[in-house]
Amino acid sequence: MPFTRDNVLRGVLLCAALLGLCAAAGCGDQPERSEGGKSDQVATIAGASAAPSSAPQSAQQEGVMMRIDMTEEERQAVYGTYYACLKANGVRMLTKVGTEVPAQDEKQAPAGYRACKAKEPYLDPLVDKTKNPRYADQFRVWLACMNDKGVEVSGSPDDEFLNFGKRAPGIDSKKYVQIYRQCEMASYKW
């Protein structure tokens, strides 16, 4: 897969979701069970009533927007709900790093993906150059932030590919995602 900005963002979102799901997998309390062995609790998405966006209102995209200011728990909840829906609708899953992820794409299981379209995560329009009129300036601020925090990256807002170089000592994958998200939140604003 090429290193386009969109692919990098999708990769970061997926990595963050997988890291969070892995961390949460063994850490939560088990809900109490009723006589039939079923949970007495109802699953909800944390932060589902998100603050209204001041983003320009164009045609609403179907799905759940992965806002750049979401907590890791909110991201986990969105992906967990989406993946559970896909599984319940016949999409074959596989386990990666302790988390179930789709093993089939939309072409292989169209009915399952169609049934879950309202739960599908999509990127925040702030990081979409076709929707954010200040994207180019904000991209340059993001680039400077990443470099200032020890992650070499270069490119221009119009480049299809970004050039990632060395990371400062001590920046592992988890720290990289943290820096990436901090720089996004500091750089991209309506």
Strand, coil or helix: 54? coil
Cβ–Cβ under 8 Å, residues 120 and 62: yes
pLDDT at site 58: 52
| Both tokens assigned to 168 | 């400062």
pLDDT at site 37: 47
Pair (118, 132) in one structural domain: no
Domain count, the chain: 2
Q: Judge whether 30 lies within some domain.
A: no
pLDDT at site 44: 41
Pair (116, 71) in one structural domain: yes
Pair (84, 175) in one structural domain: no
Is the Cα torsion angle 136, 119, 182, 55 positive or negative in sign? positive
As a whole number, mean pLDDT of residues 45-62 equals 53
Pair (136, 97) in one structural domain: no
Q: Judge whether 131 lies within some domain.
A: yes
Pair (11, 101) in one structural domain: yes
Pair (119, 131) in one structural domain: no
Confidence check: pLDDT of 35 > 70? no
Q: Judge whether 164 lies within some domain.
A: yes
